[in-house]
């Protein structure tokens, strides 16, 4: 089949307007139903809820004491106390109980005095009508409207409905959303085999799990259907079955792009109207929107891209707004904040790009560090603190220029985090976990931009901590020379985190027999490098110069990754035969390791933050036996000096 092209792409706003206008006009919305009150939380009333009874349904005591007829007590005073006979003039009553016939006031027990016997009490103050009484209908009166149409039912609303006797409220039905995963290479998580995943014979299907969670949170009922292969007829049958099966909306995941095996758009067009194919948003461009008919039913269909990040953007842009409209609600909006990008954010003109970022509150400003932007990098979703939308009419955003971001986490949580920018190390995630366990209000959020990038962020006042392992070739000492060069005027502490073993990561058995740096230049050996500015890259270039090896002779020298784990993954996948990294990364993925030496991985902390309670908590974790034992177990670390103040740099 020929490849598709996007000849008439719409902006997200244009596509959403076309989608909602057609769906709301041409497709039946979910109807009404009555549900038991115990199951009504988060449902939306389809009609006003009227009280079926008054509350309270009687005049009741609001205090423990005696019920009286107020008019009989008007002469009572401290000078002329009044004695009341229990059972004739006064009646004992507990809070919430009905008043006896003829009574219209309660005198609380604290205001009573003992009479001549247990059958009498003395009062020194008159009661007034309806004193300490909850009158019939005080809260609500039968037939009164308790809650309006369109009200989402929460815990307090459940209480009001219960008090008014509304035990089966009338609500909008939850939309039933069918999810059809597609792809001949896709298998369920239960059927995913490690060997097949590594060889690329199959891919685990998990987008349906993400969609289902989003749909439940939005107020819909997800129904995941069997995986459909990349075959037009199979996809048509799957879509037809979902529509005839009662789905109010169908999501076809994967197959909406422009490849020769992407059939979703054609299937939608063949069963109805393809309203939009191609949206000017990245990620999410291949989204297809349409309306189809089968079995006498007409329902909306969305074809989402297969890459997780793209698919989630499509869900947020088109599915969630439709469900909100069906619930007669406004789409949920995220809190926004002004943030400052630490680095320039390039973008492609003509496309609105959604960039996920890590945030840290430093010196009263929220600084943003972009996460990897690939449409398949699902971890950029779980690690992100916020989303920055880059307008389609510009080529990107400037570093240091404030922009608006949508927050993905509570602002208080973001503001309480320590932002670490710089070199990557696996122990940073370990520290974060331990910090959270010890002090839930504190966490360590890290962004990996290399040691030089970390020092740059420190110099600009854009982070609290920078991971650094920059070797001075002349002295052989780590980090101090780099701090003197790049942090002039910024007094800082150099805290030793770990000694770590650097080496060449290779496949098990070392099939290419890489035993030294010279072997990286051999014909047939492919290398994977770290990014410029990283300490590992500095170490590599130092060793190449020392051994007289030209970087041009190394196949793959220009291929870069941003973390040790990504280097190890590149070797594991066969994309490279070797890469320079730390032992813990090799050990984590079951790879072999050729050691080349130990290095110092330190944390640079500006003196201005040294007294911060979060820094104190960070150092407590690093100095703990728990951290040292866990790091040692990862392999390739020396923790004997972890937490030591290695140097106090005065900024000169």
Which residue is associated with the tokens 């009263």?
Answer: 364
What is the pLDDT, as a whole number, of residue 441?
Answer: 85
Indicate the range of 261-270, 368-377, 495-504 predicted with least confidence.
368-377
What is the pLDDT, as a whole number, of residue 22?
Answer: 97
CA 163 to each of CA 11, 51, 177: distance values in angstroms, whole numbers, following the listed order:
49, 8, 34
Cα 12 → chain centroid = 22
d(CA 495, CA 533): 20
In this prediction, residues 113-120 reach a mean pLDDT of: 92
Q: Tokens standing for 557?
A: 């020298």
User: Residue 151 sits in a domain of what CATH number?
Assistant: 3.90.105.10
| Residue that terminates a domain, selected from 263, 293, 326 | 326
d(CA 161, CA 144): 11
- Say yes or no to pLDDT of 364 above 60: yes
* Segment (H or E) for 541: helix 535-546
Indicate the range of 16-20, 114-118, 202-206, 230-234 predicted with least confidence.
202-206
Q: Residue 245: which domain range?
A: 12-29+174-326
The answer to whether residue 238 is domain-embedded is: yes
Pairing of strands 527-530, 560-561: parallel
The answer to whether residue 441 is domain-embedded is: no
In this prediction, residues 20-49 reach a mean pLDDT of: 96
| Residue that terminates a domain, selected from 116, 150, 172 | 172
From the CB of residue 454, how many other CB atoms can be counted at a distance below 10 Å?
A: 31
From the CB of residue 268, how many other CB atoms can be counted at a distance below 10 Å?
A: 28
d(CA 446, CA 194): 30
| Residue that terminates a domain, selected from 172, 197, 224 | 172
**393: three-class secondary structure by DSSP:** coil
Domain count, the chain: 5
**135: three-class secondary structure by DSSP:** coil
pLDDT category of residue 194 using cuts at 50, 70 and 90: low
Q: What is the pTM of this model?
A: 0.81
User: Residue 124 sits in a domain of what CATH number?
Assistant: 2.170.190.11
In this prediction, residues 281-292 reach a mean pLDDT of: 92
Q: Indicate whether 251 and 191 sit together in one domain.
A: yes
Q: Tokens standing for 53?
A: 């009874």
Q: Indicate whether 200 and 322 sit together in one domain.
A: yes
Pairing of strands 527-530, 578-582: parallel
Q: Indicate whether 406 and 275 sit together in one domain.
A: no
What is the pLDDT, as a whole number, of residue 473?
Answer: 81
CA 306 to each of CA 238, 284, 637: distance values in angstroms, whole numbers, following the listed order:
17, 9, 39
- State pLDDT tens for residues 605-621: 999 999 999 999 999 99
Name the residue among 322, 29, 285, 362 with its Cα closest to residue 172: 29
Query: Rounded to a whole number, what is the distance in angstroms from the first to the last CA of the chain?
Result: 67
d(CA 385, CA 446): 11
- Say yes or no to pLDDT of 464 above 70: yes
**317: three-class secondary structure by DSSP:** helix
Q: What are the φ and ψ backbone dihedral angles of 193, each rounded to 5 degrees?
A: -105, 135
Q: Indicate whether 214 and 346 sit together in one domain.
A: no
What is the pLDDT, as a whole number, of residue 202?
Answer: 67
**535 or 218, higher pLDDT:** 218
**C-alpha triplet 438, 441, 443: angle, nearest 5°:** 75
Name the residue among 234, 243, 253 with its Cα closest to residue 302: 253
| Edge-to-edge strands, sheet with 272-277 | 221-224, 176-181, 249-253, 297-304, 288-294, 272-277
- Say yes or no to pLDDT of 282 above 90: no
> Residue 67 in contact with residue 103, Cβ under 8 Å?
yes
d(CA 221, CA 19): 21
The answer to whether residue 292 is domain-embedded is: yes
What is the pLDDT, as a whole number, of residue 246?
Answer: 95
The answer to whether residue 371 is domain-embedded is: yes
d(CA 257, CA 243): 22
**635: three-class secondary structure by DSSP:** coil
Q: Indicate whether 507 and 618 sit together in one domain.
A: yes
Q: Indicate whether 304 and 341 sit together in one domain.
A: no
Average pLDDT score over the chain? 91
No. of helices (H) and no. of strands (E), the chain? 18, 38
- Say yes or no to pLDDT of 259 above 60: no
In this prediction, residues 395-406 reach a mean pLDDT of: 90
What is the pLDDT, as a whole number, of residue 191?
Answer: 73
Q: Indicate whether 121 and 255 sit together in one domain.
A: no
User: Residue 360 sits in a domain of what CATH number?
Assistant: 2.40.340.10
Name the residue among 119, 42, 125 with its Cα closest to residue 329: 42
In this prediction, residues 388-416 reach a mean pLDDT of: 90
> Residue 398 in contact with residue 445, Cβ under 8 Å?
no
pLDDT category of residue 557 using cuts at 50, 70 and 90: very high
Q: Indicate whether 622 and 491 sit together in one domain.
A: yes
d(CA 50, CA 165): 9
The answer to whether residue 529 is domain-embedded is: yes
The answer to whether residue 20 is domain-embedded is: yes
Indicate the range of 5-14, 33-42, 594-603 predicted with least confidence.
5-14
pLDDT category of residue 370 using cuts at 50, 70 and 90: confident
Long-range contacts at 571-576 (CB < 8 A, ≥ 24 apart): 571/505, 571/506, 571/507, 571/528, 572/198, 572/507, 573/198, 574/507, 575/526, 575/528, 576/526, 576/527, 576/528
From the CB of residue 423, how many other CB atoms can be counted at a distance below 10 Å?
A: 31
Helix (H), strand (E), coil (C) string for 244-259 = HCCCCEEEEECCCCCC
In this prediction, residues 215-239 reach a mean pLDDT of: 94
Indicate the range of 150-159, 295-304, 383-392 predicted with least confidence.
383-392
Q: Indicate whether 368 and 502 sit together in one domain.
A: no
In this prediction, residues 73-96 reach a mean pLDDT of: 95
What is the pLDDT, as a whole number, of residue 6?
Answer: 54
- Say yes or no to pLDDT of 144 above 90: yes
The answer to whether residue 446 is domain-embedded is: no
Q: Indicate whether 259 and 377 sit together in one domain.
A: no
The residue ranges of DSSP E strands in 507-611, in sequence order, are 527-530, 560-561, 578-582, 592-606
Pairing of strands 65-68, 91-93: antiparallel
Q: Indicate whether 354 and 253 sit together in one domain.
A: no
What is the pLDDT, as a whole number, of residue 163?
Answer: 92
Sign of the C-alpha dihedral computed for residues 262, 267, 268 and 274 taken in this order? positive
pLDDT category of residue 1 using cuts at 50, 70 and 90: very low
- Say yes or no to pLDDT of 542 above 60: yes
Q: Indicate whether 65 and 209 sit together in one domain.
A: no
* Segment (H or E) for 229: none
- In 136-173, which positions are buried (b, 16+ CB within 10 angstroms) versus exposed (e)? bbebbeeeeebbeeebbbeeebbebbebbbbeebbbbb
> Residue 649 in contact with residue 602, Cβ under 8 Å?
no
d(CA 352, CA 388): 10
The answer to whether residue 506 is domain-embedded is: yes
What is the pLDDT, as a whole number, of residue 2?
Answer: 44
Helices (H), 400-531: 411-415, 427-438, 451-459, 480-486
């Amino acid at each position: 089949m020929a490849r598709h092209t996007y000849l008439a792409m719409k902006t997200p706003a244009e596509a959403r307007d076309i989608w909602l206008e057609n769906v709301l006009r041409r497709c039946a919305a979910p109807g009404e139903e009555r549900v038991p009150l115990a199951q009504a939380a988060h449902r939306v009333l389809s009609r006003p809820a009227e009280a079926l009874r008054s509350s309270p349904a009687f005049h009741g005591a609001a205090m423990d004491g005696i019920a009286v007829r107020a008019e009989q007590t008007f002469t009572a005073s401290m000078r002329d106390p009044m004695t009341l006979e229990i059972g004739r003039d006064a009646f004992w009553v507990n809070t919430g109980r009905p008043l006896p016939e003829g009574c219209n006031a309660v005198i609380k027990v604290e205001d009573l005095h003992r009479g001549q016997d247990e059958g009498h009490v003395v009062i020194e103050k008159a009661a007034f009508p309806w004193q300490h009484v909850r009158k019939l209908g005080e809260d609500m009166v039968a037939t009164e409207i308790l809650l309006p149409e369109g009200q989402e039912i929460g815990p307090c609303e459940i209480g009001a409905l219960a008090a008014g006797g509304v035990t089966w409220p009338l609500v909008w039905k939850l939309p039933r959303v069918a999810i059809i995963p597609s792809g001949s290479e896709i298998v369920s998580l239960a059927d995913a085999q490690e060997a097949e995943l590594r060889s690329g014979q199959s891919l685990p299907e998990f987008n349906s799990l993400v969609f289902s969670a989003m749909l439940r949170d939005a107020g819909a009922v997800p129904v995941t259907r069997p995986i459909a292969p990349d075959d037009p007829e199979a996809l048509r049958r799957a879509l037809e079955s979902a529509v005839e099966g009662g789905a109010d909306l169908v999501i076809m995941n994967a197959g909406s792009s422009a490849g020769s095996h992407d059939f979703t758009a054609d299937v939608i067009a063949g069963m109805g109207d393809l309203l939009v194919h191609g949206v000017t948003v990245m990620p999410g461009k291949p989204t297809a929107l349409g309306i189809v008919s089968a079995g006498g039913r007409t329902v909306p269909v969305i074809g989402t891209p297969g890459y997780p990040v793209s698919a989630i953007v499509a869900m947020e842009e088109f599915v969630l707004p439709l469900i909100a409209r069906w619930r007669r609600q406004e789409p949920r909006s995220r809190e926004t904040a002004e943030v400052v990008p630490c680095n320039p954010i390039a973008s492609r003109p003509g496309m609105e790009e959604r960039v996920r970022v890590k945030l840290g509150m430093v010196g009263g400003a929220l600084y943003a560090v972009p996460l990897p932007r690939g449409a398949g990098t699902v971890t950029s979703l779980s690690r992100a603190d916020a989303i920055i939308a880059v307008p389609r009419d510009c080529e990107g955003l400037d570093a240091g220029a404030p922009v608006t971001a949508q927050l993905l986490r509570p602002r208080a949580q973001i503001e309480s985090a320590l932002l670490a920018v710089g070199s990557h190390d696996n122990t940073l995630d370990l520290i974060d976990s331990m910090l959270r366990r010890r002090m839930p209000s504190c966490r360590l959020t890290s962004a990996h931009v290399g040691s030089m990038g970390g020092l740059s962020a420190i110099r600009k006042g854009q982070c609290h901590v920078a991971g650094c392992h920059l070797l001075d070739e002349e002295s052989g000492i780590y980090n101090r020379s780099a701090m003197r060069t790049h942090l002039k005027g910024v007094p800082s502490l150099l805290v030793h985190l770990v000694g770590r073993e650097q080496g060449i990561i290779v496949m098990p058995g070392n099939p290419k027999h890489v035993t030294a740096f010279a072997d990286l230049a051999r014909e047939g050996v492919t290398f994977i490098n770290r990014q410029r500015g990283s300490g590992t890259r500095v170490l590599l270039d130092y060793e190449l110069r020392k051994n007289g090896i030209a970087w041009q002779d190394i196949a793959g020298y220009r291929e870069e990754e941003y973390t040790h784990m990504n280097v190890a993954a590149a070797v594991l996948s066969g994309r490279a035969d070797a890469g320079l990294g730390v032992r813990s990364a090799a050990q984590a993925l079951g790879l072999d390791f050729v050691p080349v030496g130990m290095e110092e991985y330190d944390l640079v902390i500006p003196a201005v933050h040294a007294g911060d309670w979060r820094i104190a908590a960070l150092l407590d974790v690093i100095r703990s036996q728990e951290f040292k034992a866990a790091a040692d177990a990862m392999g390739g670390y020396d923790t004997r000096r972890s937490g030591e103040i290695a140097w106090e740099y005065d900024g000169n």
